[in-house]
Structure 1
Amino acid sequence: MTRFIGVARAASAVLISMLLAACGGESTDTTTESPTGLQITGAGATFPEPLYQEWLRRYNTEQSAARFSYEGVGSGEGVERFIAETVDFGASDSAMTDEQIAQVDRGATLIPVTAGMVVLAYNLPGIDGELRLPRDVYVDIFKGKIWKWDDPRIVAANPHLEIPSKLIQTVVRRDSSGTTFVFTNHLGTIKPAWRNEGPGVGTLLDWPGGAMTGTGNEGVAHKIKISHGSIGYVEYFFAKRLGLPMATLQNQAGNFVQPDAASGRRTLEAAATADMPEDLRLFVPDPEAPDAYPIVSLSWLLLYGEYPESEKATALKAALTWALNDGQPVAEALGYIPLPPNIVAAATRALETIR
């Protein structure tokens, strides 16, 4: 099992490098020793991993005070390592719960640094055109109630398509994942029975219907890429860079919205007009705006309230200040959603409390 995990992580690193190369970034070793000897390590969510690796590549070449590295192991594992204090910072797309925060002796501060979309990518040969999925339909696909692509409800929503009579194979995460939390929180919001009667909301679920599983966003994306008839939930970056078609989803207003940079930005900007919660845990499980893409989430870095080594606190604050400002155009170029000014301001204020 240990060997399998090592191979999987190595394959993940290769894929991330390929994806970054495809969008114009060069992958470099971000773990090079700092001239000052100050090494800062982090681990967590795979949802923003391509962005974090590109940020670190750029930031490590701009300064020599510290060297930063990041390992995409999933939000659940990232939170566990953060609580165990085996990393200098964690990362999660599901934030942290009050119970988890209470386990951190040095205190925990959650800093939103980027946002992205969860999309339903699919592999259905012969489909040439926009595939529309109503809200109740994609809930029932992942609940195992709709198991053929030519189900009458899918056909009725897509009269412009010749949909084949093919079995639907869902692809989900096998590891504890913030992306899973974002997706299931959305499903549980639009259909309370999903939350109350099962499968439920969380970072790791027992999925119905014999779903295929993959590790990390890249693992799910790869399974979709090679599996005819499949559909799965992944972060937008992974689907776009692998050339996977993405379903157009129906939002709360009843409109069908395609996942793209513009629709994701509209969703986040509309949600951000409200006051940010004091703890910065802003969730958008079912946005109300008529042109909003329905599945958008912030992604947080997890910092300790106090660092025994003041140099680490100083270096982390400097790096995150860079990410919240100079790093946002990089996020947009990679398909993530740049943070609105009021979220940047709230994150900056929270960052100033780190000691």
Structure 2
Amino acid sequence: MKSLFTKSLVAGAIALSTVTTALAADITGAGATFPYPIYAKWAEAYKAKTNNGLNYQSIGSSGGIKQIKAKTVDFGASDNPVKFEDLEKDGMVQFPAIIGGVVPVINVDGIKPGQIKVTGDVLAQMFSGYIVKWNDKQLADLNPGVKLPDANITVVHRADGSGTTAIFTDYLAKVNANWKKDVGAGAAVKWPAASSIGGKGNEGVAANVSRVKNSIGYVEYAYAKKNNMTFLQIKNKNGQFVSPDDETFAAAAAGTDWSKVPGMGTFITDAPGAKSWPITGASFILMYKEPGNKANAAEVIKFFDFAFKEGKKMAADLDYVPMPDATTEFIRKNVWTKINTK
């Protein structure tokens, strides 16, 4: 049976794509599943206010980059930021729209959310197949008093090109030398664990973890929260075990000065700070400087301007972190001004 959250995503997609009398002003986007819950919420509010709709295809970051390059959508969305030199080559700009956290989630009987603690190194060993049992000594030593089953670990990963994967593997490569050497980081990697299955989108990973006993996967926190999934605590760079929420995501992002990064594209994983969630990242929007449909490009800018100004509480309610005001002002003055909408 599909989860209620999956059903709501499908319903939301149908609602967002409904043809209205304002069809000419409807805008299209495609890409990352990481921000889909908040984009759907923003789109609902924007539609109610302006009668202008958004049809967003939640197909994964790699798909979003392909769609914008093919010029079949008004904007692409990716959690895996595009390099500045590639943006320049393709005549595009990029800006972060929302901050969130990638969270390891598990399906182990009797374990409550946050009850199991891991280090980044141990997490990498679990996903690489070096640690194959839930009662492995390294896990047991980190979790005295927790009854861990003598059961094999099944790894659930993304089957599609994914910015969520890019954020997750960027973190694992920073905290585990073997992962960096043998697997690396990126939107798609060769998953080394012998016992592993793939899922399409954050939705697919969440569904598979919920279905497969003794599994572990990774999803954007909104999916973990809505599906009542069991997450792990992680030891951060400052040596503190932290749980995922909007406060720990904000703590991780606090030291990032987006204006100093060419193309604004950067990862914020393994960030310092006592409260920082170590697998935090942003989701980015890609647009052409010379868009094929200038009116739609102008509407995309209006949509995200609305989101930045009026969508903060909606973001916080889903445990995303809105972009800081200084960053959104930088985007208005230094990114959107490069897009020719006239």
After TM superposition, the score normalised by the length of structure 2 is: 0.92
Partner of residue 243 from structure 2, selected from 251, 255, 258: 258
Distance 1:160 1:351, change over 3 A: farther
Could you tell me whether the CA contact under 8 Å between 2:76 and 2:286 is conserved in 1? yes
**How big is each residue's C-alpha offset from its partner over 1:221-273, in whole Å with a ceiling of 9 and x where there is no partner?**
0101011100101100101111111000011111111111221121112x235
**Cα RMSD (Å):** 2.3
Query: Relative to 1, partners in 2 of residues 1:27 and 1:83: Cα closer, same or farther, differing over 3 Å?
Result: closer
Check whether the contact 1:16–1:50 (CA below 8 A) recurs between aligned residues.
no
Contact 1:116–1:336, Cα closer than 8 Å, also in 2: yes
| Distance in 2 between residues matched to 1:125 and 1:293, nearest whole Å | 25
CA distance in structure 2 between the partners assigned to 1:302 and 1:165 by the alignment: 46
**Cα shift at 1:99:** 5.9
Aligned residues, how many?
336
Q: Is the 8 A contact 1:17 1:27 kept in 2?
A: no
Indicate how the Cα distance of structure 1 residues 206 and 26 shifts in structure 2: closer, same or farther if over 3 A, else same: closer
Matches for 1:1-355 after TM superposition, within 5 Å: 15-18=5-8, 28-35=15-22, 37-64=24-51, 66-98=52-84, 100-101=86-87, 104=90, 107-128=91-112, 130-195=115-180, 197-210=181-194, 211-269=196-254, 271-272=255-256, 276-349=260-333, 350-355=335-340
Identity of aligned residues (%): 32
Distance 1:180 1:26, change over 3 A: closer
Q: 1:20 to 1:254 in 2, by over 3 A?
A: farther
Other-structure match for 1:8: none
1:279 shift after superposition: 1.5
- Give structure 2 stretches of 5+ with no counterpart: none
Report if aligned partners of 2:16, 2:43 keep a CA contact under 8 Å in 1: no
Retained in 2: the 8 A contact 1:272–1:342? no
Whether the 8 Å CA contact 2:74–2:293 is kept in 1: the answer is: no
- Partner-residue secondary structure (3-state), 1:208: coil
| Per-residue deviation, residues 37-76 of structure 1 (Å, max 9, x unmatched) | 2332110000001111111111112114x43210000000
Contact 2:100 2:249 in 1 (8 A): yes
Distance 1:99-1:119 versus aligned 2 partners, 3 A rule: same
Report the CA distance between 1:98 and its aligned residue: 4.3
Deviation at 1:176, TM superposition (A): 0.3
Q: 1:172 to 1:335 in 2, by over 3 A?
A: same
2:134, 2:153 within 8 Å by CA — same for their partners in 1?
Answer: yes
Q: Find the aligned partners of 1:165 and 1:85 in 2 and give their Cα distance.
A: 51
Name the amino acid aligned to 1:81. Answer: Q
CA distance in 1, matches of 2:235, 2:44: 37
Cα distance in 2 for partners of 1:71, 1:220 equals: 17
Unaligned ranges ≥5, structure 1 = 1-10
Shift of the 36–166 alpha-carbon distance from structure 1 to 2, 3 Å rule, reads: closer
Q: Which moved more, 1:32-41 or 1:322-331?
A: 32-41
SS in 1 for 2:138: helix
Which stretch has the larger CA shift, 34-43 or 280-289? Answer: 34-43
